[in-house]
Amino acid sequence: MDKSQSFPVLSEDAFFQRILQCLRNELGSGCRIRLETVWKNNGLLLHAVIITEDRLTLSPALYLEPYYQDYRQGIPVATLARRIAASYRSRRADPELDADQVLPSENVNQRILFRLVHWSRNRELLKNVPHIPFLDLAVVFYFTVSHSVLGTGSCLLQHSHLEALHLKESELWPLALVNTPALLPARIQSMQELLPKMLEALAAEDKEALPEQDLDSLFPPGGSPMYVLTNPSCSYGAACLLYPGVLSSFAKKLGSDLYILPSSIHEAILMPAASAPDQAALARMVRDVNRTDVPICDQLSDRVYLYSRKLDQIVY
């Protein structure tokens, strides 16, 4: 907090309530303003302001945690409330837009996709969504949306959506298993190919953040090669682990079973088991990286999996 401020620092809950009060003053009696808690991936609980008006049926969720951090840096509550109000005004939907229009009405079967999340860390979330347990993970489903006002995006599929979409829960996996690889095909690249591009992007943002050692020292001779599995958008690419034939064909190409390091929900790292460190050492590495480098909402698992060519399946 800026030491120049003389007033006591509000707790997070008190800040939220003060923001609601300021927003009611800023937006007037024509808006109804409430605070909601929203479960995100891995049990991350966020607080969102929901603002509704009689003439509007849709409203954006305006998350307050980033604004609280700004407040802690010394920005007054009233200033932040005005920013939130401006964000609401710029993002609110057209008065003629009906909430049901968010749900796809055409080609529904082609819009159902799947993602992977951690099972036990998402117990509350999974109570409300169709899902399939897989090892310590869960397959969840979402649908793509496109609208002239809202633009394009995706929405997690909940039990409450099934009737409106005229879908049965048993239909979701067969549909998603066809659609997801077709729309988001798997891509496997070696770490040695990707790292120069990553460093180039990093240099463009902050040259001082570049590592001092050269690239050759990062990949010593005889070290086990590493490959990154994701999709072209690099978003929820860990789902590629379940695409038919992806792991079997790559393991055949390398002539080895594969260790799978779930580096995040967006990608997985593959290593030939024949030349990799032991599984326990890899698991320690995954845990350490999750604790220090991967945001909670992007973490997938602390475990390391093995793809067995003999079994043609992923095991612990």
Per-residue pLDDT of the chain (316 residues; tens, 9 = 90+): 444 445 678 999 999 999 999 999 999 988 899 998 888 888 888 899 988 887 665 667 889 999 999 999 999 999 999 999 998 887 765 444 444 455 666 678 888 999 999 999 999 889 999 999 999 999 999 988 765 555 567 788 999 889 888 899 999 999 999 999 999 999 999 988 877 665 665 555 554 544 544 444 444 455 689 999 999 999 999 999 999 999 999 999 999 999 999 999 999 999 999 988 888 899 999 999 999 989 988 999 999 999 999 999 999 8
Domain that holds residue 193: 187-315
What pLDDT, on the 0 to 100 scale, is given for residue 60?
73
The domain boundary residue, chosen from 71, 91, 111: 91
Q: How far apart are CA 258 and CA 269, in angstroms?
A: 10
> Which residues, in sequence order, are CB contacts of 47 under 8 Å at separation 6+?
16, 35, 36, 37, 38, 63, 64, 65
304 and 195 co-located in one domain: yes
Q: Which of 82, 21, 23, 81 is nearest to 53 (CA)?
A: 23
Tell me the whole-structure pTM to 2 decimals.
Answer: 0.74
Tell me if residue 159 falls in helix, strand or coil.
helix
Is 1 within the bounds of a domain? no
80 and 18 co-located in one domain: yes
> Which residues, in sequence order, are CB contacts of 58 under 8 Å at separation 6+?
92, 93, 97, 99, 102, 150
Number of domains in the chain: 3
Q: How far apart are CA 262 and CA 268, in angstroms?
A: 5
Kindly report the length of the chain.
316
Instruction: Find residue 315's DSSP bridge partners.
Output: 306
What pLDDT, on the 0 to 100 scale, is given for residue 223?
64
Q: 305: burial class by Cβ within 10 Å (0-12, 13-18, 19+)?
A: buried
A 10 A CB-CB count for 127 gives: 10
- The single-letter DSSP state of residue 234 is -
What pLDDT, on the 0 to 100 scale, is given for residue 278?
86
What pLDDT, on the 0 to 100 scale, is given for residue 25?
92
Is 3 within the bounds of a domain? no
Quick one: three-class SS letters along 74-125? CCCHHHHHHHHHHHHHHHCCCCCCCHHHHCCCCCHHHHEEEEEEECHHHHHH
Is 96 within the bounds of a domain? no
238 and 306 co-located in one domain: yes
Q: What share of the chain is helix, strand, coil (3-state, %, to 5)?
A: 40, 25, 35
Q: How far apart are CA 109 and CA 176, in angstroms?
A: 9
Instruction: Find residue 41's DSSP bridge partners.
Output: none
> Which residues, in sequence order, are CB contacts of 194 under 8 Å at separation 6+?
228
> In whole angstroms, what separates CA 57 from the centre of its chain?
26
Is 256 within the bounds of a domain? yes
Is 261 within the bounds of a domain? yes
Is 5 within the bounds of a domain? no
